[in-house]
Structure 1
């Protein structure tokens, strides 16, 4: 098969022929019809993820057709249209038994723990636990983002964040996850404040339902911290940047919301955006950390006195288990949620190496999808 491969961190990847994958006893091989280009893929290429071994094929959010199944797979056959969470759970550990497959103790992640979906085919483990059927009316390009960015945002806003109609929700960082969070929170009846340094990202945020937008570049020098470091590790997107200072951004959010957000998300993953999100909250507000913070940036400084005095909640959110996709898919099928609108670019596999390397310097707005069958 053709795949995008890199053999050294931070050096040009190439598209070349590699051996076809074969399914494990409990796994499947999926023919990749569409796969998202995510900031996490860039971090993996740069060497920021310790799980990656070289040479490597990145790619972790995908949709396609089951090509081959292992002998122990009970519920899937070739020809099925599927997507998969970026966390592939084992189905046997204590976390899985509790229904918490997104924090599986023995999880695998395509594109990180093994070769991923920037290829014509990808192997996926424990198919009966992890595969999600894609409705016929949903395009593969739309479905690809459901494995990472959109599902991650859905659980962060709805399950972890417990969003309620009429609440103020602040979203710090309007890349793929952030824009998804804006759309989902607005669809749930919340009033959304979107924060970013990119005018294009804020334009899209308003299009997707943000009631207010904060251009963090206008607040430069009003607070401490640096923006644009992006998340490290796997399964989150940082194609938007979160802000140039915490104090000014948080103050702007508090002013726009009449005292602070009920729910605030750091959808980027940097010490600055994490702190700004916490400081954006009103009394008894809820902060959800979605963006993974790169280890090189160190642990963020969380204002604990504010946390205690205002009885704030600090929550983490790490993807969404396959069994929880039903309500989200129903909202997509009914048209209440439109993840298709997040796709702003579709490219071929041959264009993927340049697009991956460009993410470090020129992060784009919206979601870029790679279609391996597309020719330049």
Structure 2
């Protein structure tokens, strides 16, 4: 099969023919019809996250936002069938640990992030293998396209879990989203669908315009603002109720925290870069005085995807609106390079392998 292989961090991926995977007894092989290109892929391509123990090594197939068709299942698989139209979450759980058994497979004790570690090769390829398929494979509803659903494996479902499950977002609440890449734009759209008033923050007018189309009621261009958090707080009448760092750099994290009002909730979705190595200093005294909550959020349990699908079926959520373009597998390196300077808008999706 054809795949995009990491040879050296920061260098173009090699498009090569490699051995196709076969299903282990509890696994399934999925033919990839579409796969999003995510900023997390950029992190892995850059060589980030050694401090988390998930730095991709040479030989790794990246890609963790796939949708496609099951073409082979292992002999012990009970619920997944050949021909099923599926998505694959990036947070691959073993299905057996206490976290998985309690419904928190996104924080599995033996979590394997798809496309970042050797046991789970990614989906920048014609085929990928999914371990513990009954636990990890998500059946897609009828009538949706793989391209439209490609972002579900990471960006869209991560934002949904953060806003719908981890934070306390109510109708009319002010929600600020700092960083309008794929995950931030997903957060804007989801927060709007949940009834919040959304303030979008980014450096680029093009992304802020898209955020407005997705439901933001106000925007702040951080390249022009003297005090980003102050502007957000002023729009929200004294401070946001919930604020999201959807990027993961020190500046957006601090801006997010400082834009909150009393008893506000900060949602940390973005993971950091080599500049921070997982450590960001915060105004802790102010957080104490204002009783601010700092909430981490990772992925989403596959068992709760049906919540997204029900909102998609009624038109309240439209993940396809965040897909900005479709490309070929050979274009992946160029898209990753463009992300270095935040040069992509929305979610680019591979549909030609």
TM over 0.5: yes
Q: Could you say which residue in structure 1 is the equivalent of 2:157? A: 151
C-alpha offsets along residues 13-72 of structure 1, whole Å, 9 cap, x if unaligned? Answer: 121211101112211110000000011111111111333222121100110000111111
CA contact (8 A) 1:184 1:337 kept: yes
Query: Out of 204, 207, 211, which is 2:213 matched to?
Result: 207
Q: Tell which deviates more after alignment, 294-303 or 98-107.
A: 294-303
Residue 115 of structure 2 corresponds to residue 135 of structure 1: no
Query: Out of 289, 297, 305, which is 1:325 matched to?
Result: 305
C-alpha distance in 1 between matches for 2:145 and 2:68: 10
C-alpha distance in 2 between matches for 1:14 and 1:295: 24
Residue 308 of structure 2 corresponds to residue 290 of structure 1: no
Q: Secondary structure at the match of 2:91?
A: coil
CA contact (8 A) 1:108 1:125 kept: no
The verdict on how the C-alpha distance between 1:328 and 1:41 changes in structure 2, with shifts beyond 3 A counting, is same
Q: Secondary structure at the match of 1:218?
A: coil
Q: Could you say which residue in structure 1 is the equivalent of 2:35? A: 35
TM-score, normalised with respect to structure 2: 0.96
Query: Out of 86, 90, 93, which is 1:86 matched to?
Result: 90
C-alpha distance in 2 between matches for 1:34 and 1:284: 41
Query: Out of 172, 182, 195, which is 2:178 matched to?
Result: 172
C-alpha distance in 2 between matches for 1:182 and 1:359: 20
Q: Secondary structure at the match of 2:112?
A: coil
C-alpha offsets along residues 182-209 of structure 1, whole Å, 9 cap, x if unaligned? Answer: 0111111110000000111100000000
Query: Out of 55, 58, 64, which is 1:54 matched to?
Result: 58
Would you say how many aligned residue pairs link Structure 1 and Structure 2?
Answer: 346
Q: Secondary structure at the match of 2:72?
A: strand
TM-score, normalised with respect to structure 1: 0.90
1:138, distance to aligned residue in structure 2 (A)? 0.9
C-alpha distance in 2 between matches for 1:296 and 1:272: 11
- Structure 2 residue ranges without an equivalent (≥5): none
- Structure 1 residue ranges without an equivalent (≥5): 223-247
CA contact (8 A) 2:7 2:14 kept: no
Q: Secondary structure at the match of 2:275?
A: helix
Q: Could you say which residue in structure 2 is the equivalent of 1:364? A: 344
C-alpha offsets along residues 232-276 of structure 1, whole Å, 9 cap, x if unaligned? Answer: xxxxxxxxxxxxxxxx11100110010000000000101111111
Let me know the Cα RMSD of the aligned residues: 1.2
Q: Secondary structure at the match of 2:264?
A: strand
